[in-house]
C-alpha cells in the first residue's frame, strides 16, 4: 500500500537524505515549517513499506505529546470515511492503514502488521531493549530532562531490524543547549568533535519555505525583525526569552579558567540519580571574583563516585555547600572535606547569582564559567523563569553553583559583622589596648 502526499522542497531534501547512507537526519526549521507533518508521514510510509517492522515515535513527554506530536500523527493518518463522517477523521480507529489501536499503550498496528509505538523522551530508556526500523524524535531540542547524546547512542544501537534502520529528528531550536551543540557545532558533551558527525545530515529550513503554511503573515508580524526571528522562522538559534540569568553571555562570562589566579576554592554539591549528580568547583580570585573551573556532572552515580572524582583529580580542599542530605554530608566529612548544609533560599540565592553576573566599572563580571564546564554554560543559557522551583527543570549545576557561592557569601558576611562589632575578639592588638584602658 502506498500513499501520495505533497511535500515542499525542504521536506523533499530531508526525504532524499533519509534514503542515503546517514544514520541520523535532522530537519531543523521554524514554526510551521512542516517538520512534524513530515515526521509523521515518514514513519507511516516506512511502516507500510516494511511489513512486520517496529517503529518508534518520541514526543517530549506523554502529556505534551497528546497535544502536539501524537495529535499531528493522528491528523496525518489516511481516514476510511472522513468524507461521510468527518468527526472521525484523524483517529487511529478510523484509518484505512491501521488494523488495531491499543489506546492504553499508545501502540498502533498497521495493515502490514507493522507496529508504531508512540513514546516519550522522558521515559525513552524503556525502549532500550527493543529493536526498531525507524525512529522519529519530535522536538528533541525541548527534551529538557534527556541527554541527547545518550538518547542517540542507545537508540541507534537498537536499529538492527530488517527495515530501514534510520533515525529522524525534527525540531525548532531552543536556545544554546545540547541540540545546538550536536546539530550546529557538531561537538560532543566534552566539546570535542562529534564522533558520529559524518553519519548525520542536518537540513535547515525556514517557515517561509512552506507553501502550505497559512499563517506565515502572523509569524512575520510576531517574530520578524526581533531577536527571536532566527529561531522562530529561520531554523536557527536564539537566546530564549524570560531567562532567569538573562545577563549571562558567552562573550562576557565564558572564560579560560587557567588565565586566572585563585586564593582558594569552594564547591557546591547537588545530588541526583536519574538527574545528574553535580559538583562544581569554584575558584576565588584575589579581587574576589568567582570562576567555575570544573564540574562533575553525571547521571546514575553515587556520592562515593563524586568523592572519588574529587580525590582522583587531586582537587584542593575547600568548603562544600551541600544539598541537605545528612548521609552525604557525613560521607564528605569522612573523606576529609569541610561540608555543611547549603543556604537554599531560592529567591535570595538567585538574586545573589544575578548580581554577581553584572558587570562592574571595569566591565568585568563577578562570576564567570570556564569554557570546559559545558553543562553549567548550557544551564545558564536555557534556565527559564517558569522553570524555577519545578522538579523537571534542568538547573542541577546552577543549584550546586548557587549553594556554593551564596552560602559562602553569607558566611563571609557573618564573619565581617562579628569583626566590626567585636574587634577585640579577633584583633590581638585591640585586646592589648583594652587591657591598658582598664
Q: Compute CA 141 distance to the chain's CA centroid, rounded to the nearest angstrom.
A: 7
Residue 86 pLDDT class (50, 70, 90 cuts): very low
Residue 257 pLDDT class (50, 70, 90 cuts): very high
pLDDT at 414 over 60: no
Task: Give the residues across from 57 on adjacent strands.
Answer: 118, 136
The interaxial angle of helices 396-421 and 346-357, nearest 10 deg, is: 90
pLDDT at 80 over 80: no
> Is 152 in contact with 72 (CB distance < 8 Å)?
no
Question: What is the average pLDDT across 273-286?
Answer: 91
What are the φ/ψ torsions at residue 436 (nearest 5 degrees)?
Answer: -65, -30
372: helix, strand or coil: coil
> Is 295 in contact with 268 (CB distance < 8 Å)?
no
pLDDT at 376 over 70: yes
The pLDDT of residue 420: 39
The pLDDT of residue 90: 67
- Copy the grid coordinates of residue 294: 570544573
Q: What is the pLDDT of residues 141-174, one digit of tens each?
A: 989 778 899 899 989 988 876 678 999 999 999 8
Tell me whether strands 264-270 and 319-322 are parallel, antiparallel or unpaired: parallel
pLDDT at 426 over 80: no
Residue 3 pLDDT class (50, 70, 90 cuts): confident
Q: Which element (helix H / strand E) includes 358?
A: none
pLDDT at 87 over 80: no
- Copy the grid coordinates of residue 207: 517557515
| Sheet containing 339-341: order of strands | 254-255, 367-370, 290-298, 277-284, 264-270, 319-322, 339-341
What are the φ/ψ torsions at residue 60 (nearest 5 degrees)?
Answer: -60, -55
Nearest to residue 289, comparing CAs of 247, 320, 244, 257? 257
- Copy the grid coordinates of residue 14: 530531508
Domains of the chain and CATH, by start: 9-232 (3.40.50.300), 250-421 (3.30.420.280)
pLDDT mean across residues, the chain: 88
Residue 429 pLDDT class (50, 70, 90 cuts): very low
Q: Which element (helix H / strand E) includes 56?
A: strand 54-59
Percentage of the chain with pLDDT > 90?
67
Can you list the pairs that 423-428 forms with residues at least 24 positions away whose Cβ atoms lie under 8 Å? none
- Copy the grid coordinates of residue 129: 531493549
Q: Compute CA 79 distance to the chain's CA centroid, rounded to the nearest angstrom.
A: 37
The pLDDT of residue 88: 53
Residue 83 pLDDT class (50, 70, 90 cuts): very low
d(CA 4, CA 18): 18
pLDDT at 421 over 70: no
Residue 89 pLDDT class (50, 70, 90 cuts): low
Strands (E), 181-246: 200-204
- Copy the grid coordinates of residue 249: 553571555
Residue 288 pLDDT class (50, 70, 90 cuts): very high
Q: What is the pLDDT of residues 93-148, one digit of tens each?
A: 889 999 999 999 999 999 999 999 999 998 777 776 788 999 999 999 989 778 89
The pLDDT of residue 435: 31
> Is 293 in contact with 370 (CB distance < 8 Å)?
yes
pLDDT at 81 over 90: no
Q: What is the pLDDT of residues 323-366, one digit of tens each?
A: 999 999 999 999 999 999 999 999 999 999 999 999 999 999 99
Question: What is the average pLDDT across 361-390?
Answer: 91
Residue 436 pLDDT class (50, 70, 90 cuts): very low
Burial of 227 (0-12, 13-18, 19+ CB in 10 A): exposed
Comparing 144 with 265, the larger pLDDT belongs to: 265
First to last CA, the chain: 104
Which of 175-179, 273-277, 379-383 is predicted with the least confidence, judged by mean pLDDT? 273-277
Q: What is the pLDDT of residues 193-224, one digit of tens each?
A: 999 999 999 999 999 999 999 889 999 999 99
Amino acid at each position: 500500500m502506498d500513499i501520495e502526499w505533497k511535500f515542499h522542497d525542504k521536506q523533499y531534501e530531508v526525504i532524499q537524505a533519509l534514503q542515503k547512507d546517514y544514520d541520523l537526519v535532522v530537519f531543523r526549521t521554524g514554526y510551521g515549517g512542516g517538520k512534524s507533518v513530515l515526521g509523521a508521514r515518514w514513519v507511516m510510509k516506512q511502516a507500510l513499506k516494511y511489513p512486520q517492522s517496529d517503529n518508534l515515535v518520541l514526543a517530549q513527554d506523554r502529556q505534551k505529546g497528546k497535544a502536539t506530536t501524537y495529535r499531528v500523527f493522528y491528523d496525518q493518518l489516511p481516514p476510511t470515511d472522513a468524507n461521510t463522517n468527518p468527526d472521525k477523521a484523524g483517529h487511529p480507529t478510523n484509518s484505512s492503514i491501521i488494523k488495531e489501536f491499543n489506546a492504553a499503550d499508545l501502540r498502533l498496528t498497521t495493515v502490514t502488521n507493522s507496529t508504531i509505538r508512540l513514546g516519550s523522551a522522558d521515559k525513552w530508556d524503556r525502549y532500550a531493549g527493543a529493536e526498531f526500523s525507524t525512529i522519529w524524535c519530535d522536538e528533541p531540542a525541548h527534551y529538557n530532562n534527556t541527554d541527547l547524546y545518550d538518547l542517540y547512542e542507545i537508540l541507534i544501537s537498537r536499529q538492527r531490524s530488517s527495515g530501514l534502520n534510520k533515525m529522524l529528528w525534527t525540531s525548532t531550536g531552543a536556545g544554546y543547549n545540547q541540540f545546538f551543540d550536536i546539530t550546529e557545532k557538531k561537538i560532543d558533551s566534552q566539546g570535542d568533535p562529534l564522533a558520529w558527525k559524518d553519519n548525520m545530515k542536518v537540513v535547515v529550513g525556514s517557515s517561509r519555505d512552506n507553501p502550505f503554511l497559512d499563517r506565515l503573515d502572523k509569524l512575520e508580524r510576531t517574530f520578524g525583525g526581533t531577536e527571536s526571528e532566527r529561531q522562530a522562522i529561520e531554523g536557527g538559534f536564539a537566546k530564549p526569552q524570560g531567562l532567569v540569568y538573562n545577563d549571562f553571555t558567552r562573550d562576557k562570562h565564558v572564560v579560560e579558567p587557567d588565565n586566572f589566579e585563585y586564593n582558594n576554592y569552594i564547591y557546591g554539591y547537588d545530588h541526583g540519580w536519574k538527574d545528574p549528580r553535580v559538583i562544581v568547583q569554584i575558584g576565588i580570585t584575589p579581587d574576589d571574583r568567582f570562576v567555575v573551573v570544573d564540574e562533575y556532572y553525571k547521571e546514575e552515580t553515587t556520592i562515593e563516585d563524586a568523592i572519588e572524582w574529587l580525590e582522583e583529580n587531586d582537587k584542593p580542599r575547600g568548603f562544600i555547600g551541600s544539598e541537605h542530605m545528612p548521609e552525604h554530608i557525613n560521607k564528605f566529612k569522612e573523606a576529609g572535606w569541610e561540608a555543611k548544609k547549603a543556604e537554599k533560599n531560592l529567591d535570595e540565592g538567585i538574586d545573589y547569582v544575578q548580581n554577581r553576573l553584572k558587570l562592574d566599572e571595569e566591565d568585568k563580571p563577578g562570576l564567570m564559567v570556564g569554557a570546559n564546564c559545558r553543562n553549567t554554560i548550557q544551564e545558564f543559557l536555557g534556565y527559564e523563569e517558569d522553570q524555577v522551583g519545578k522538579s523537571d527543570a534542568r538547573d542541577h549545576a546552577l543549584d550546586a553553583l548557587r549553594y556554593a557561592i551564596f552560602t559562602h557569601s553569607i558566611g563571609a558576611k557573618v564573619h565581617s559583622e562579628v569583626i566590626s562589632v567585636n574587634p577585640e575578639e579577633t584583633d590581638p592588638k585591640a585586646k592589648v589596648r583594652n587591657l591598658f584602658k582598664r
